[in-house]
Structure 1
Amino acid sequence: MEGKFLPTSSCFIPPISEEMILVIKEAFRSPASQVLVDVSRQAVTRADLETLLGLNWLNDAIINVYLNLIVNRSKEAQKLPKVYAFNTFFLTRYIEMGYSAVRRWTRRDDIFAHDILLVPVHLGMHWCMAIVDLRVKQIKYMDSMGGRNDACLATLLEYLSQEMSDKKNSQLDAGQWLLTNIQNLPQQQNGSDCGMFALKYADFAAKDAEINFTQNDMPYFRRRMMFEILRSSILPSGYGEK
């Protein structure tokens, strides 16, 4: 099976090989509740993996495990930014219950020792992604339906200020930070792929790559993501590789 080149890029898209297809098919022979893989204490069952089929909506387990794979990739590749990912429940918990409810979530991690923070944003029926770039003091909001979310950006800046005060005994200068609703992003053309777009935004941002995929690439990315999760590792080549 041959791969192809993106028309506007020199990047090569690796094919879905027969071996990858066999691995995926074997996984779907398992009972729905069977745990197929555990990545950084995030278990994925066959039922979870099924959310990557067709036009299904991705669930929390898939979002969380793929973000963990992005983090693990950053630890293994010296040239990539150092990445930290928050759980899908983090932002909702913080908004609803305040800093005290999430204070211990980072007790083993210094988020300020990282380059990039990935924050999944769930708007009830829609996934988006927030990217905190600590290197340039910028928080970016990425929505595959073109939405703005100034409240989310302000909330994340508030969290960073509280986290720095609590963990570093230091004050964050909010005036130095840029809050941006990113425009001209690849947009979804259906009502199902918001989770895929959010994860691919995170994937590309975490390797400082140009976001150059389209809606047409989502069926490919869904199958590739199944294999990557089953193998607990993101494939090294594809769009955006430098």
Structure 2
Amino acid sequence: MGDKRTAEEMESEVTYEGRFSEDEPSDIQTKISSLSSDGNFRKRSFNKGLIPYARRRRKSKQGSDSSDWEVASASFHSRTESRRLMRVSSVLREPLRDNLFDHCFRNIWRESTAEKRKACTYLNCWWFYMYTKEHCRQRVLTWIKKEKIFSKRYVFVPIVLWSHWFLLIFCHLGESLESNSRTPCMLLLDSLHTLGPLRLEPLLRRFVLDIYETEDRPECKDMVQNIPLLVPQVPQQRNGEECGIFVLYYTNLFLENAPENFSVSEGYPYFMKPDWFTYEELEGFYKRLESLGTESSDSEE
């Protein structure tokens, strides 16, 4: 789901690079960190639940050793971990707000190989929405210029508009528009084709043209406007709440399998088909995100 704050409010949260620093507090840290109990909570729960249990054990077994405490503590933390995983799962299966999406996206990015991160980059999930606001446009274009996207093989652009997530991928933008092996193009991945993803095309083409002009690229306007925009037939969501998780999974799989180059004349990258992945594999991805979410929470405690 899209964030309902104003562009000004979002601007105040975004650094010039558009990424939260690793230690910067944000709504997502509140949302995800709350999925694990803090130290004080654990201490209170421990004192309330385990000390009476330990006293009873001492009365019945005067000779018992510290193993009683260890067993009780392990049982407690096992129950705590189960509750935490259930809460993470619940949050991820709701419509993803942009802060939560950003958190998950950055986790996926960190999990990718250094080689992939060197060849690719991504734009912050707020930027495209902010670009649609006239008073934010130039600032966003300045941020994008600092990302040096024309030196990257692929650029991931998460888009949230109309309470729906899309994934735009710029491919080989730094190559000649007449290249036969590395054709500059745009891939628009949408998990809800029934809404008509090409309704975005005029706005996307204006966005790309503004990027080229801000970078003072030599390509003429007509050539930029003719960069192919492709809409692959990718797996589709099953309900009205899955678009965010689908975009995250599209990103994850593309990072894993993206070819070094491909030509539009040869079709899409071989893996981008309606059977690109199964819903069972998507469920496995949910579980992976749940694990990443709790690991992040643990590291912050």
Q: Does 1:159 align with 2:223?
A: no
Give the whole-Å Cα distance in 1 for the aligned partners of 2:106 and 2:204: 20
CA contact (8 A) 1:129 1:141 kept: yes
How far did residue 156 of structure 1 move? 2.7
Match in the other structure for 1:145: 192
Match in the other structure for 2:161: 123
Match in the other structure for 1:94: 131
Match in the other structure for 2:290: 226
Structure 1 gaps of 5+ residues are 1-36, 233-242
Give the whole-Å Cα distance in 2 for the aligned partners of 1:40 and 1:138: 36
Change in Cα spacing, 1:175 to 1:105, as seen in structure 2 (3 Å) is: closer
Q: What TM-score do you get using the length of structure 2 for normalisation? A: 0.55
Give the whole-Å Cα distance in 2 for the aligned partners of 1:51 and 1:101: 35
CA contact (8 A) 1:130 1:142 kept: yes
CA contact (8 A) 2:31 2:100 kept: no
Q: What TM-score do you get using the length of structure 1 for normalisation? A: 0.66
Letter in structure 2 aligned against 1:139: M
Change in Cα spacing, 1:84 to 1:42, as seen in structure 2 (3 Å) is: farther
String of CA shifts for 1:70-96, please: whole Å, max 9, x gaps: 44455x432677222112221121122
Q: Percent identity?
A: 21
Give the whole-Å Cα distance in 2 for the aligned partners of 1:136 and 1:230: 40
Letter in structure 1 aligned against 2:292: E
String of CA shifts for 1:189-225, please: whole Å, max 9, x gaps: 1222211101111112223353532333333322211
Match in the other structure for 1:207: 256
How far did residue 52 of structure 1 move? 4.7
SS of residue matched to 2:237: coil
String of CA shifts for 1:3-38, please: whole Å, max 9, x gaps: xxxxxxxxxxxxxxxxxxxxxxxxxxxxxxxxxx96
Give the whole-Å Cα distance in 2 for the aligned partners of 1:127 and 1:93: 15
Change in Cα spacing, 1:228 to 1:174, as seen in structure 2 (3 Å) is: same
Give the whole-Å Cα distance in 2 for the aligned partners of 1:176 and 1:208: 27
Which deviates further from its counterpart, 112-121 or 222-231? 222-231
Aligned length: 194
Q: Larger % of strand: which? A: 1
Change in Cα spacing, 1:45 to 1:206, as seen in structure 2 (3 Å) is: same
CA contact (8 A) 2:141 2:210 kept: no
Give the whole-Å Cα distance in 1 for the aligned partners of 2:211 and 2:198: 20
Match in the other structure for 1:180: 230
Give the whole-Å Cα distance in 2 for the aligned partners of 1:207 and 1:164: 28
Give the whole-Å Cα distance in 2 for the aligned partners of 1:115 and 1:217: 27
Match in the other structure for 2:122: 85
Give the whole-Å Cα distance in 2 for the aligned partners of 1:46 and 1:99: 29
Give the whole-Å Cα distance in 2 for the aligned partners of 1:77 and 1:152: 32
Give the whole-Å Cα distance in 2 for the aligned partners of 1:118 and 1:46: 26
Give the whole-Å Cα distance in 1 for the aligned partners of 2:25 and 2:184: 30
Letter in structure 2 aligned against 1:228: L
Give the whole-Å Cα distance in 1 for the aligned partners of 2:116 and 2:155: 17
Change in Cα spacing, 1:197 to 1:42, as seen in structure 2 (3 Å) is: farther
Match in the other structure for 2:74: none
Pair member with larger Rg: 2
Structure 2 gaps of 5+ residues are 1-19, 36-86, 173-181, 259-270, 297-301
How much is the aligned-residue C-alpha RMSD, in angstroms?
Answer: 3.1
CA contact (8 A) 1:87 1:120 kept: yes
How far did residue 101 of structure 1 move? 3.7
How far did residue 178 of structure 1 move? 0.9
Letter in structure 1 aligned against 2:183: V
How far did residue 51 of structure 1 move? 6.5
